[in-house]
Amino acid sequence: MLRLSQLVMNSLRLHGEETYPHECCGVLLGRLSDGESSVQSAVRAGNTRIDSAHNRYSIAPAELIRIQREARVHGLDIVGFYHSHPDHPARWSATDLAEAHWLGCSYVITAVEGGRAAQTNSFRLVGTTEDDKQFIDEPVEVAVPEELRP
Amino acid sequence: MDIYIPTPLRAYTGQQATVSVEADTVDAALAQLTTAHPELKRHLFNDDGRLRAFVNLYLNDEDVRYLPEKQGTKTTQSDALSIIPSIAGGGGEARYSGRC
């Protein structure tokens, strides 16, 4: 289960619209316990794959180091990542799996169709090694802001 | 010096996010880390003992791969070593066909 606020969900989807037709990417900070991730914030990152930004993304390790350092200050961990698929379904690709190495973390994908965010799905990378890793569909729970609750 | 462990590898450090070692090189720090937590070894290194390609090592703000002495680089107790697996991916080659 991936839990996040409507604000965080809106933020990562908007990022995908802003970078369209290129892929956006970012880091999800929060807490991970008993297989559930509670996301506190989504931090935008630059896509270093300027050679093929419409269908590839990569986050510079130096930027990850910086984000991880800031997360530590706030008592948070990296619990997942997000990216967009411009004009492509919100399903993980063979490239997504091959390049995924954060076992136990969530990988959130938003399809952006013609510049508009469409479906957003989350997949958790499970397994114990590079040899047996796989993505499984992960339920997403979006918390409704208190002022909008009935 | 402190070694920062990324979320997925904490299963092999007893959930410790930071492991402290006393080492005078990056290699020595890694050796101490994997001696204290042997299960980490196969996640960090290939069968031939080389660091896995997707594992990035940063000594403070420097990528160890680009330091002149690489993993032989001298360290002090005030240094911090970060282990950070790479993040990449992307959609397939198929393109959206557009709306009718």
* B41-86: pLDDT as tens digits: 999 999 999 999 999 999 999 999 999 999 999 999 999 999 999 9
**Which residues make beta-bridge pairs with B85?**
B55
**For residue A54, is it left (φ>0), alpha (ψ between -120 and 50) or beta?**
alpha
d(CA A107, CA B90): 11
- Around Cβ B78, how many Cβ atoms within 10 Å? 8
Q: How confident is the model over A3-56, as pLDDT tens digits?
A: 999 999 999 999 999 999 999 999 999 999 877 999 999 999 999 998 889 999
Q: What residue ranges do the domains of chain A occupy?
A: 2-148
CA distance B83 to A99: 17
What is the homologous superfamily of the domain B2-85 according to CATH? Beta-grasp domain (3.10.20.30)
| ipTM score | 0.88
| Choices 3.40.309.10, 3.30.390.50, 3.40.190.10, 3.40.140.10: CATH for A2-148 | 3.40.140.10
* Residue in this structure with the two tokens 């462990």, named with its chain if needed: B5
The separation between the first and the last C-alpha atoms of chain B, rounded to the nearest angstrom, is: 61
Q: Between chains, do B90 and A93 touch, taking CB under 8 Å as contact?
A: yes
Domain boundaries, chain B: 2-85
Chain B residues with CB inside 8 Å of A73's CB?
none
Q: Which residue of A has its CA nearest to B84?
A: A61
**A64-88 in b/e burial notation, b at 16+ Cβ within 10 A?**
bbebbeebeeeebbbbbbbbbbbbb
- Determine whether the interchain pair B8/A68 forms a contact, defined as Cβ–Cβ distance below 8 Å: no
